[in-house]
Amino acid sequence: MKFAQFKCHLQLLFCSVSISFVEILIGGSYVFSSTLLTQLREPSSNIKLNIEQESWITSISMLLTPVGLIITGITADRIGRIKALQISFIPMTLSWLTLTFANSYTTIMIGRILLGYPFGVSSCMCLYIAEVFPVHLRALHTAGPSLFVGIGMMLVCVLSMYFRWQTIAGVLCALSVGGFVVLFWVPEPSKWLRAKGRDAEADRVDAWFDLGRVDPAFARSGSGNPSREVGVNRSGDGGNPSSKASCWSLYAQPTVWKPTLVTLTFFVCQHCSGVYVLMFYTSDVLRDFRLPWDSATVAIFLAAARVLGGLCFGMLHRIKRRNLLVISGALMAASLAFIIAYITAFQHVEHPPYAGTVVVAFVAFMFFGLLGIVPMPWILSGEVFPIAISGVMNGFIQTFGYILWFLVVKMYPSLVLQFGITCIWSIFTLFCSLNILFAIFIMPETKGKSLDEILSYFESEKKTKNLYYVP
């Protein structure tokens, strides 16, 4: 019995690591642009860029990500979560291959544009974890993507100390091929298979996972697939399309538009907290705050903070999500408040004392962000929609998130020039505090709850039976 449980956990871990592996490459891409621009600014570089070109290299991937999100959302619903994830590795591999042999601004931009498509695969990972993993293990495994992003950031930071950016791109290209191949051994969720009428395949997947060994609820139900979660109307009408809700009424249900508003609000609070600005503009932030620290060293500290934060987020999986978000928002706001107070107090001092404390505060800011504000919007968007439309809605929600990400990253330098570094980071502090109010008054609690229970939070008195039909 114990061996069977261990085998089940091992299979779940294999699937979790396999689908999260892409985040190593995505995390590496976050800091790759900084490494790239730093080396291109060297006198010996054959590629010369102006400030405008540098800003486009940094942000262009975010602008193209919505295209990948939409395609990924559609393919995830039509051909499966794993196949959609595998498809995303194709442009990623081509991107790193292009950057490996890039010798001009144009080829660099082509590589960065191709990299925008696979940035949208987080929706597939969140969907897969929500549909496959038992409720009591879901929170633990959702920490995987955030942890792997930190590992990817640290990997590129370390490689940049010894290799040129073309070599780093070659390493990431090889890892992309490996990530594509390993997904051939990861099964599709049985819930999605049943929603598509592929019951025989779903039974084989259930037998392979054997979740009854670790999930008592699955063992009692025998299938672990309540009809509402599966997304199929199994009523006696035989699935006659004429009896189904129209497309418009489907998306007008409270269990669709309410979680849409909630997740959109969450993404606004996340991106305006400044956490991604710090990752993309580490050297600029240090310069504007007059901190005498090497940006590469601080980038490694920030990557380590992401790794440790991801580990802690996984270890705190028994704590309610809303409580974690309150803690994350409060401590991030406190970290930024300390930084603002320090800069204000010593703004007229040429060499401020104890400048290292500001770096520590930034590292703490990143660490506490991983406890809630960074991973939770992406996780929540994969947990609050009916399976029948979860892929499409994830594509829409995360498209908004990446467009907002692009706008914040692209506009940050000009906003600092216009309003000043203190003003902008004070706004980031305010939004960190708003996350606390969001957690208390708006965010639904998904920890330890099935999809059926989560959807009930958004339902009106009139039941929406037709919402779960999959054509």
Alpha-carbon distance of 464 to 461, in angstroms, equals 9
What single letter denotes the amino acid at residue 216? P
Largest CA distance in the chain: 78
* pLDDT at position 220: 52
Domain count for the chain: 1
In terms of Cα–Cα distance, which of 97, 107, 113 is closest to 168?
A: 97
Does 322 reside within a domain?
Answer: yes
* pLDDT at position 8: 85
Helix axis angle for 143-160 and 165-182, nearest 10°, is 150
What single letter denotes the amino acid at residue 397? I
Range of the domain at 263: 2-188+251-454
pTM confidence score: 0.76
Does 227 reside within a domain?
Answer: no
CB of 416 closer than 8 Å to CB of 423 = no
Block residue for tokens 């606390």: 436
In terms of Cα–Cα distance, which of 347, 344, 352 is closest to 429?
A: 344
Block residue for tokens 């901190």: 291
Q: Over the chain, what HEC string results?
A: CHHHHHHHHHHHHHHHHHHHCHHHHHHHHHHHHHHHHHHHCCCCCCCCCCHHHHHHHHHHHHHHHHHHHHHHHHHHHHCCHHHHHHHHHHHHHHHHHHHHCCCCHHHHHHHHHHHHHHHHHHHHHHHHHHHHCCHHHHHHHCHHHHHHHHHHHHHHHHHHCCCCHHHHHHHHHHHHHHHHHHHHHCCCCHHHHHHCCCHHHHHHHHHHHCHHHCCHHHHHHCCCCCHHHHCCCCCCCCCCHHHCCCHHHHHCCHHHHHHHHHHHHHHHHHHCCCHHHHHHCHHHHHHHCCCCCCHHHHHHHHHHHHHHHHHHHHHCCCCCHHHHHHHHHHHHHHHHHHHHHHHHHCCCCCCCCCCHHHHHHHHHHHHHHCCCCCCHHHHHHCCCCCHHHHHHHHHHHHHHHHHHHHHHHHHHHHHHHHHCHHHHHHHHHHHHHHHHHHHHHCCCCCCCCCHHHHHHHHCCCCCCHHHHCCC
Does 200 reside within a domain?
Answer: no
The pLDDT tens digits of the residues spanning 346-390 come to 888 878 888 889 999 999 999 999 999 998 998 888 788 887 777
* pLDDT at position 165: 92
Residue 449: give its domain's CATH number: 1.20.1250.20
Does 216 reside within a domain?
Answer: no
Contacts made by residues 46-53, CB under 8 angstroms, sequence distance 24+:
46/103, 47/103, 47/104, 47/105, 47/108, 49/105, 51/413, 53/105
Please, is 158 exposed, middle or buried when counting C-beta atoms within 10 Å of its C-beta (0-12, 13-18, 19+)? middle
Helix axis angle for 2-20 and 122-132, nearest 10°, is 160
Does 429 reside within a domain?
Answer: yes
Q: Which two structure tokens, joined as six digits, stand for 131?
A: 């549909």
CB of 114 closer than 8 Å to CB of 366 = no
Does 44 reside within a domain?
Answer: yes
Does 459 reside within a domain?
Answer: no
Reading phi first (left if > 0) and then psi (alpha if -120 to 50, else beta), residue 178 is in alpha
Does 427 reside within a domain?
Answer: yes
Which positions ≥6 away from 459 have C-beta within 8 Å?
Answer: 254, 255
Alpha-carbon distance of 60 to 54, in angstroms, equals 10
Please, is 233 exposed, middle or buried when counting C-beta atoms within 10 Å of its C-beta (0-12, 13-18, 19+)? buried
* pLDDT at position 179: 95
Q: Which two structure tokens, joined as six digits, stand for 71?
A: 């395609």
Q: Which two structure tokens, joined as six digits, stand for 464?
A: 């929406």
Q: Which residue ranges in the chain fall short of pLDDT 50?
A: 223-245, 461-471
